[in-house]
Amino acid sequence: MDTKRVVVITGGASGIGQETALKFASKGDRVVVADYNEAGGQETVELIAKAGGEAAFIKVDVSKHEDVQALVEKTVEIFGRIDVMFNNAGIGGAGPVLDQNMDLYHRTIAINQHGVAYGIIEAGRKMKELGIKGVIINTASVFGFLASYGTFAYHATKGAVIMMSKSAALELAPYGIRVVAIAPGVVDTPIIQGFKDRGMLEGMKAKVMGGELTKPEAIAKSVYLLSLEEAEAITGSVVMVDQGYAGFK
Residues annotated as part of the active site:
154
Number of H helices, E strands in the chain: 9, 7
CA distances from residue 233 to 9, 169, 172, 225, 237 in whole angstroms, order as listed = 22, 12, 14, 12, 10
CA distances from residue 173 to 78, 88, 162, 229 in whole angstroms, order as listed = 27, 21, 17, 15
Distance CA 53, CA 205 (A): 35
Q: Tell me the three-class secondary structure of 82-144, residue by residue.
A: CCEEEECCCCCCCECHHHCCHHHHHHHHHHHHHHHHHHHHHHHHHHHHHCCCCEEEEECCHHH
Q: Where are the alpha helices (DSSP H) in 112-227?
A: 115-130, 152-172, 193-197, 201-205, 216-227
Q: What are phi and psi of 140, to 5 degrees?
A: -95, -140
